[in-house]
A and B are shown apart, each in its own frame.
Chain A
Amino acid sequence: MDTGLFRPESVAEALALLARLPDAKLISGGASLVAMINARLADPAALVSLAGIGELKQIAAAPGGGFRIGAMARHRDLAAESRFSGTLAVLQMAAAQIANSTVRNMGTIGGAVAHADPGLDYPPALVAADASIEIAAAGGRRQVPAGEFFVDWFTTALQPGEMVSAVHLPAARPGIGLYHKFARVSGDYATVSVALTLVREGRAISTRAAIGGCGPTPLMVAEANRLLSGDPTAENLRRAGELLQAAADPVDDVRGSAEYRRMLIPRMLARAFDEARLRAGAAR
């Protein structure tokens, strides 16, 4: 019997099912998968529901600081997560801007990152937060930095038979995390989004900026982060924007032309950075 809906109670059990049923799909919140099924873009013969796996539901503070977010954590829970202080606020802000309240009740972070739609809000936020994705495989678990997890349009580092079991956030650092999203209407996929973490280190700052909606994966450029760190000048900010702009590979679609998306990158970066620096009390 290799069709139907399976309800494993442990990650190990889920992985065993995936091994036995190569055509099975995992279902967590369903928000992405069922929409694909309704659009006839997916027609799974078997589904493995993660709903019964307790381990996947917790958002637990990690011993060394930071958090382990189970893959089944709902957008709603992350949007309401008050423990995400300092730089980690970027994730809470991103979660709060996904779709709408009803869909946030359904969707899970694991489902979203595995779906890897370039318009999603989590990927840039996770990259900016320097999060890593915990992948469970038959051989054991491994953590992949968010920046490496997202590989291409709708494509991740997940191999067949593997699943996302959790998202790990590093310890919150004093400073600011913010997520600016621009979309045609509330709840639409981002035309362009900016995820930013800004850490205050005495008089200096250290910044990580990731751009969403402008390529197959979240856009982050080390040199841009460097330019936005220390004691950045207006010129640094301008050059950082240009670097990200140059690195972008946006689509041309109904949410905006590729050229418009490129135009927005430095503009939205500047607004986000200025706001973060101001709130960090490090305004020049």
Chain B
Amino acid sequence: MSAPSESVGRRVPRLESREKVEGRAQYIADLYRPGMLHGAILQSPFPHARIRGYDLAEALAMPGVHAVVTGDDFAEPNRMGAFIKDEHALAKDKVRYVGEPVAAVAADTEAIARAAAQAIRVDYQELPALLSPEEALASPVHIHEGVEQYFKVFDAGSQGNLCSRTEFTEGDIERGFLESDLVFENHFETQAQAHVALEPCGALAEVDPQGRLTIWSANQSVFRVQACVAEALGIPMTRIRCLTPRIGGAFGNKMEPHVQPIAAALALKAKRPVKMILSREEDFEMVRARHPFRIRIRTGVKRDGTFVAREVEVLLDCGAFADDSPGVLGFGLLCARGPYRFPHVRCHGRLVYTNKLRFGAYRGFGNPQVSLAGESQIDDIAEKLGMDPIELRLKNILRGDDRPLGGQILTSNGLRECVERVRDASGWGKGAPSPAAPGKKRALGFALCGHISGLLASGAIVRILEDGTVVLNVGANDIGQGSDTVLSQICADALKIPLENVAFVSPDTDGSPYNWGTTASRVTFMTGRAVVGAAAEAEKQLKQQASEMLECAVEDLELVAGGAVAVKGVPEKKIGFFEIAKRSHWFAGGPIIGSHSWVYDNPTVDPKRAAAIGLPFPRIGAYSFSAIVVDVEVDEVTGAAQVKRAWSACDVGRAINPLLVEGQIEGGVVQGIGFALIEEMVWDGARLANPTLMDYKIPTTREAPYELYPIIVESRDAQGPFGAKGVGEVGLVPVPAAIGNAVKRATGVRLFKLPFSAERILRGMLGTQQ
């Protein structure tokens, strides 16, 4: 079935490449509108304080200032939140972390706006700051009064400073540990990681004469922006149109709102377009970050290495607002068992409000943290049992029709192939791959994971234009990963037309079908399948037209390469899309518009197999898998670890575009290396101590291994478009654990706390580890 026009499986460069290399791609900061003003925010200097009042006189008196908004401009019930409605667009009545936006100004220039924001006086009454989950759980002071009354989309069990709690159980955990020959228990801690998308967040809002808002912003979902602005301003969604420019990377921090509702409020007040672009420092201090986890993990095994029982307990720092945190807690726990056979499992945890910036979605969504714990401990178990860590895993991984935690059906599973491919490619078990340089220690480390790519809703519309070419309209933002290209390839192949004949519509809440967002590795799988469905609908209409034109039965027709419908087995008896479109537009049947939408409806938990309390997402699944081997060198003088080589195999079902799949794997692995070895947001008391790229470092060309080998495994998932599953996150998830395992094998030091900084490794080697 590989017709010449086939796009799926081809290494197609991203469609918008040219505008990007010519510097003509427009990101939010590059947009200008007639009469546009510039916005700036005032941030809270206190972690927790009541707002007694504002003095805006000085700011309003400054020449060039057109509007000022504060929490008073946002009415009480108008709170946002994907899971718990607990957040106003600006601090209202209270500030809850250092750096929280308290007020905002629209002025002729950014400089004036920033100066005016500084000139706003806020009367604060300080409250005790709660800076850790433990502290917050113990305190009578509540960061949100009446969290119990907030609207929630699931049974969160919120109470006091407890934002939510979730628990999964399968089998009988106590019996499991009794039946185990050996039980291992460890505690792990992970740090806050900043997304550091190279593009800082920003938004541009404009109001038309009817008072309707148009909002462009750095975002991962125009529909989430629309919904959140509507909630924040208390206006109907129909009053808001959201569009997207090119997005300069996101990784989760642009999924939920940042300054869109603030810019919108300023635009409404100033009756002028307002653009607000955060500085890098503001982006660090007020957008969102990866959750610090505290993890207790207990695993019971048989002497022969059979896994019997696993209990995982986590405590998450939520920050000041729930944002996506309940989802991260729930998903982290769902992944905490790992893609292994464990008859007895209990995964439970709590999410606690603190006076820090909100934590939220970040590539991996809780999985990298729990995988660090699980995959590190499995290596130690293997060592104790005298088994090879990969052999131990192969003995216990999910295979055949085994079920992941929760008991849902796996529709494809390439995990074993991932493990075997990286094992063989890296020369695992064949002695030291390459000798350590003098003064260095060197070893390989391994880890694996499973990660979902199916959740929530997506739609697609395929229109055949008058000349027979095709417009594809989905609501999915391309945040740089390449979904515009991949979805166009899917559409082209579904209709057997050349890729050039597909035009891709930029997401627009006025015209695009709904899409939850570009998140959770879901776009290729979810939206791709919607595209296949919409193309099938268009195909039906095309065939109906053709059957009338060729006077034969629809059943006797098939699509043939190049954009035509032909009689089966008689390719020369065909009729092109152009002819069909002419007829449909001008004579009979009407323009051909195929549409399809769906919501992922495979229950997360099968009640016959597992139980769940506080489940934030009842329907989530479609598992991708990955395995990685890293070759790590540790410097004996400084303790610094460097990844010299890496082999990452990912089961993506089917690679619609291998070039872009490799990009996701390579980028994910290097972001994981940053998380494992370098990156850490550090607080000095209540304030972030390193909110700049001078002090917060990410990998450069010198820290990323050039010898990074992406290996694509294709298990062909029957549910996915052309068999495809997601690849956005699986590459990153196992990296910290693999590096920790390599450090252990190289130095004998097991580290339980991320990041594995040179200081921690050296202390470990010198036995002075605290």
Please determine if A and B sit in direct contact within the complex, based on CB atoms under 8 angstroms apart.
yes
CA distance A184 to B640 in the complex (A): 8
* B638 close to A182 (CB less than 8 A): yes
Q: A267-B638, A271-B439 are in contact. Are A184 and B678 (CB under 8 A)?
A: yes
Cβ of A192 to closest chain B Cβ, rounded Å: 8
Q: Assess whether A188 is in contact with B759, with CB atoms less than 8 Å apart.
A: no
Pick the residue among A185, A257, A270 that contacts B678 (CB under 8 A): A185
A256 and B759 within 8 A (CB): yes
Known: A254-B690, A254-B695. A182 touches B702 (CB 8 A): no
The CB with the most chain A CB atoms within 10 A, among B638, B640, B762, is that of B638
B697 within 8 A of partner (CB): yes
Q: How far is the CA of A256 from the CA of B680 in the complex (A)?
A: 12
- How far, in angstroms, from A257 to B770 measured CA to CA in the complex? 13
A253 to chain B, nearest CB (A): 8
**A254 touching B682, Cβ below 8 Å:** yes
B700 at interface by CB-CB < 8 Å: yes
B696 within 8 A of A: yes
Q: Which residues of A contact B553 (CB under 8 A)?
A: none
Complex contact B638–A268 (CB within 8 A): yes
Interface presence of B420 (CB below 8 A): no
Residues of A within 8 A of B700 (CB): 100, 185-187
Q: CB < 8 Å: which of B696, B698, B699, B701 contacts A254?
A: B696
Nearest-neighbor residue (CB-CB) of A272 within chain B: B637
Q: Which of B682, B689, B702 contacts A185 (CB 8 A)?
A: B702
Chain B, 139-195, CB within 8 A of any chain A CB = none
- B697 A263 Cβ-Cβ under 8 A: no
- Contact pick for B637, options A184, A187, A268, CB 8 Å: A268
Assuming the contacts A184-B697, A185-B699, asked whether A267 and B637 have C-beta atoms less than 8 A apart, the reply is yes
Count A-side interface residues using an 8 Å CB cutoff.
Answer: 20
Q: Which residues of B contact A260 (CB under 8 A)?
A: 759, 762-763
Q: Would you call A186 and B637 a contact (CB within 8 A)? A: no
Task: Give chain A residues whose Cβ lies under 8 Å from the Cβ of B678.
Answer: 184-185
Whether the pair B697, A188 counts as a contact (CB closer than 8 A) is yes
Whole-angstrom CA separation of A71 from B698 in the bound complex: 32
How many pairs of residues, A versus B, come closer than 8 Å at their CB atoms?
50
Report the Cα distance A263→B699, complex, angstroms.
25
Are B702 and A186 in contact, CB atoms less than 8 angstroms apart?
yes
Q: B606 near A: Cβ within 8 Å?
A: no
State A39–B695 Cα separation when bound (angstroms). Answer: 13
A78 interfacial contact with B, CB 8 Å:
no
- A256–B689 Cα distance when bound, in Å, is 13
Using an 8 Å CB-CB cutoff, how does the interface string of B457-472 with A read, 1 for contact, 0 for none? 0000000000000000
Instruction: Let me know if B703 is at the binding interface, CB within 8 A.
Output: yes
When each residue 228-270 of chain A gets 1 if its CB lies under 8 Å from chain B and 0 otherwise, what string results? 0000000000000000000000000110110010011001101
In chain A, what residue has the closest Cβ to B114? A40
**CA gap between A267 and B640 in the complex, in Å:** 13
Contacts of B699 in A (CB 8 A): 185
List residues of chain B with CB within 8 A of the CB of A191: 758
Chain A nearest CB from B473 CB (Å) reads 42
CB proximity of A193 to chain B, nearest CB, Å: 12
CB distance from A190 to the nearest CB of B (A): 12
CA distance A138 to B702 in the complex (A): 46
Q: Are B689 and A254 in contact (CB under 8 A)?
A: yes
Contact of B703 among A182, A185, A268, A271 (CB under 8 A): A185
Determine how close the nearest CB of chain B comes to the CB of A189; give it in whole angstroms.
8
Taking the closest CB of chain A, its distance from the CB of B103, in whole angstroms, is 19
Q: How far is the CA of A256 from the CA of B697 in the complex (A)?
A: 13
Question: Are B638's CB and A185's CB within 8 A?
Answer: no
A268–B439 alpha-carbon span in the complex (Å): 11
**Max chain B C-beta neighbours (<10 A), residue from A185, A188, A191, A256:** A185
Chain B residue nearest to A268 in the complex (CB): B637
Complex: chain B residue closest to A187, CB-CB? B700
* Minimum Cβ distance to chain A for residue B432 (Å): 23
A254 and B759 CA atoms in complex are apart in Å by 11
Interface string of A189-218 (1 = CB under 8 A from B): 001000000000000000000000000000
Nearest Cβ distance between residue B448 and chain A, in whole angstroms? Answer: 28
How long is the Cα–Cα vector from A276 to B538 in the complex, in angstroms? 74
Enumerate A158-185 residues with CB–CB distance to B below 8 Å.
182, 184-185
B762/A263 in contact, CB under 8 A: yes
Note all chain A residues with C-beta closer than 8 A to B702.
185-187
B597-639 contacts to A, CB under 8 A, are 637-638
Cβ of B690: which chain A residues have Cβ within 8 Å of it? 254
List the A side residues contacting B692 at CB < 8 Å.
Answer: 39
Across the interface, which residues of B come within 8 angstroms of A270, CB to CB?
637
Q: Which residues of A contact B701 (CB under 8 A)?
A: 186
Which chain A residues numbered 24 to 65 have a C-beta less than 8 Å away from chain B? 39
Q: In the docked arrangement, what's the CA distance between A263 and B690, Å?
A: 23
Tell me which residues across on chain B come within 8 A of A188, comparing CB atoms: 697
A264 to B637, CA, bound (A): 7
Q: What are the residues of chain B within 8 A of A184 when measuring CB–CB?
A: 678, 697, 757-758
Q: Which B residues, 677 to 733, have Cβ-Cβ distances below 8 Å to chain A?
A: 678, 680, 682, 689-690, 692, 695-703
Give the shortest distance, in Å, between A181 (CB) and chain B (any CB): 11
Contact of B640 among A39, A182, A254 (CB under 8 A): A182
Question: In whole Å, how far is B446's beta carbon from the nearest beta carbon of chain A?
Answer: 25
Residues of B within 8 A of A39 (CB): 692
Alpha-carbon separation in the docked complex, A270 to B695 (Å): 28
CA–CA, A188 and B700, complex, Å:
10
Q: Considering only CB atoms, which chain B residue lies closest to A40 in the complex?
A: B114
Q: How far is the CB of A276 from chain B (nearest CB, A)?
A: 15
Across-interface contacts of A187 in B (CB, < 8 A): 700, 702
Assembled-state Cα–Cα distance A270/B636 (Å): 12
* Most chain B beta-carbon neighbours within 10 Å: one of A254, A263, A267, A268: A254
State whether A271 touches B637 (Cβ < 8 A): yes
CA distance A228 to B759 in the complex (A): 27
List, in ascending order, chain A residues with CB within 8 A of B439's CB: 271
Which B residues lie within 8 Å of A263 (CB)?
A: 762, 766
CA distance A263 to B765 in the complex (A): 13
A272 to chain B, nearest CB (A): 10
Residue of B nearest to A183 (CB): B697
Shortest CB-to-CB span from B198 to chain A, Å, is: 16
Q: A185-B697, A185-B700, A186-B700 are in contact. Are A257 and B759 (CB under 8 A)?
A: yes
The residues of A that contact B757 with a CB separation of less than 8 Å are 184, 256
Chain A residues with CB under 8 Å of B703's CB are: 185-186
Q: How far is the CA of A185 from the CA of B695 in the complex (A)?
A: 11
Could you say which of B680, B703, B758 has the most chain A C-beta atoms within 10 Å of its C-beta?
B758
27 of the cross-chain contacts (CB-CB < 8 Å) are A100-B700, A182-B640, A182-B758, A184-B678, A184-B697, A185-B678, A185-B697, A185-B698, A185-B699, A185-B702, A185-B703, A186-B700, A186-B703, A187-B700, A191-B758, A253-B689, A253-B695, A254-B682, A254-B689, A254-B696, A256-B758, A260-B759, A260-B763, A263-B766, A267-B637, A267-B638, A271-B439
- 17 A-B pairs besides A263-B762, A267-B637 with CB distance below 8 A are A39-B692, A182-B758, A184-B678, A186-B701, A187-B702, A188-B697, A253-B689, A253-B695, A254-B680, A254-B682, A256-B758, A260-B759, A260-B763, A264-B638, A267-B638, A268-B637, A271-B439
Which positions in A face B, CB cutoff 8 Å?
Answer: 39, 100, 182, 184-188, 191, 253-254, 256-257, 260, 263-264, 267-268, 270-271
Considering the complex of A and B, which 10 residue pairs feature the smallest CB-CB distances, nearest first? A186-B702, A260-B759, A185-B697, A267-B637, A254-B690, A186-B700, A184-B697, A254-B695, A271-B637, A182-B638
